[in-house]
Structure 1
């Protein structure tokens, strides 16, 4: 997921309905801790110091740490990762203590199963970072931090860093292999978001802009991992592409020129946006979640196929400012899709 001001205000609200802010931007003012240096793709490590300190405290307190114990044994003297994760997520020691008391089993499993698996994923991280560095050698790669939060966020990004909320990510899949797959997606897709330049925050086309941001991250992630992001979603969407594009265009019209974070809330525009983005666990009936990612990736595929300079096309995915111009240059939809608009998705 990507987050940026006007559009992102809606996404932060959307996260309460969706997947608990899996990697939205940190919603905070300037941090008091200096950001870390860029990661070296060949030697990058996964910073687990904070997670290890939490695990030791959890064990020492029988899984029932108090707010005072969490403050002294975890939050005080913590790393940049916890500093990024505290505003809007951990909040404070009291909030964290309540979250742990509410679901100690989730923290216990994350410590026993997912923390060791996350540490072992450094080989996956290096492989993905080496591929990203080869593709985009001028871009600075973020450091990765493992932390435990208040059960409300799977991850976020701050200057020079990505931070993973282990107790939330661990709950997304009951198997270690599934958890490792989640991490690989995070390392690829979410890292691309840290490399992207924020488009205009109140874009004339907020839905199209959001789909292109997410589609670009999926497109680049597919290149560096060799895997199709969410193959089940792609398999469902491909035979319905014409109908989906017809629906997407209608919702583009409903969101065009509207600030999704405005007060009072533009409910019709937000509802149109939510059909495609920010709807993990709450997609329209019969639809896979986050179909806007797939639409955006299809537009970028057309753009990339038509581009004589493929590296310039990749850079455009990171630096684009005008979503409508991208759509026009892409030539999307292809003639086969335009001629088959009778296929309509379930409502």
Structure 2
């Protein structure tokens, strides 16, 4: 297993107007541990499973060669996404051409690390209280390209490194549509952006009970990641949202205090707008309007990252301060 440790942030330059404290060493920059050894372990287990026809033997091999030897990141990923041995084995058996064609691409995940280090330095500038996090490259079972659990960023490389060369022919139509759209967004090229988004999530706190809290949670991660990386993901909601802002805002107001995320997040295109994840757009605009209105930009970032998403009154106050959901609010990313 390769463990790569790098500084999350470079030391900030001291402003010429700031006083010099001769005996006050700078606080050490938080570090990010990047672990990728589970990728190789997965493919060892995959080869063993494919060479074995007995289901019980397949389970034993996969358990011993991948799960039992996995990192804490693999255990966290399995817990976060409800993965079991059967989840993995069912996906391996159902889509062998997918796995065979995505395999060489999973080795490319490490190329995002250099850019990620730069982004983390920028995050430290934006938010000096940035806490350490671990980034784990995992092979999942096609449920997530990226998520978090606690201080762990969990990247599913079997999705996050794919492109149009990956064979989707064995998938049902709904999955084929999803992956075709997702791979068109150049996920490998944007893996550093995804990782930055997920690192932001490791800084946030509070369980989200309403749709409003969840979209703000996601939108803040998009907004702060954009500040760190200088770009947004090439996903449909980024362009569709500004062009249809008024209708989106009206529809969102009707749903925002509910607990059903299905029409707005993690939903594919099965919603009235026919565009996935428009809740990210709503949350991003709320965060950006809050930032634009704030006289102290550093304090605005701090407020975003320290917002307690379990406190619905605090979430509502943040949204109100943005002005976005008020009548006559403007549009555009």
Alpha carbons 1:299, 1:330 under 8 Å: kept:
yes
- Once residues 335 and 84 of structure 1 are traced to their aligned partners in structure 2, the CA distance between those partners, rounded to angstroms, is 42
- Once residues 147 and 241 of structure 2 are traced to their aligned partners in structure 1, the CA distance between those partners, rounded to angstroms, is 28
Of 40-49 and 241-250, deviating more is 40-49
Indicate whether 1:66 and 2:58 are aligned.
Answer: yes
Offset of residue 306 of structure 1:
1.4
Indicate whether 1:298 and 2:285 are aligned.
Answer: yes
Aligned to 1:284: 271
Offset of residue 333 of structure 1:
4.9
Aligned to 1:221: 225
Alpha carbons 1:146, 1:166 under 8 Å: kept:
yes
Aligned to 2:189: 181
Aligned to 1:148: 139
**Superposed counterparts of 1:321-336, under 5 Å:** 321=308, 322-333=314-325
Offset of residue 187 of structure 1:
0.8
Alpha carbons 2:236, 2:276 under 8 Å: kept:
no
Aligned to 1:319: 306
Aligned to 2:20: none
Aligned to 1:14: none
Aligned to 2:203: 195
- Once residues 39 and 196 of structure 1 are traced to their aligned partners in structure 2, the CA distance between those partners, rounded to angstroms, is 22
Offset of residue 156 of structure 1:
3.2
Aligned to 1:344: none
**Superposed counterparts of 1:1-347, under 5 Å:** 40-41=7-8, 44=32, 46-59=34-47, 66-87=58-79, 89=81, 91-113=83-105, 115-171=106-162, 174=165, 178-198=186-206, 201-202=208-209, 206-230=210-234, 232-252=236-256, 255=258, 260=259, 270=260, 273-279=261-267, 281-321=268-308, 322-333=314-325, 337=329
Per-residue CA distance 1:131-181 (angstroms, 9 max, x = gap): 212212212132111222333333432232112222233457648992323
Secondary structure of 2:269's aligned partner:
coil
TM-score (norm 2): 0.73
TM-score (norm 1): 0.70
- Once residues 135 and 293 of structure 1 are traced to their aligned partners in structure 2, the CA distance between those partners, rounded to angstroms, is 21
- Once residues 57 and 304 of structure 1 are traced to their aligned partners in structure 2, the CA distance between those partners, rounded to angstroms, is 47
Alignment RMSD:
3.1
Aligned length: 282
Higher relative contact order (CA 8 A, sep 6+): 1
Alpha carbons 2:161, 2:188 under 8 Å: kept:
no
Taking a change above 3 Å as real, the CA distance of residues 289 and 62 of structure 1, as seen in their structure-2 partners, is: closer
Unaligned runs of 5+ in 1: 1-35, 261-269, 341-347
Unaligned runs of 5+ in 2: 10-30, 167-182, 309-313
Alpha carbons 1:142, 1:194 under 8 Å: kept:
yes
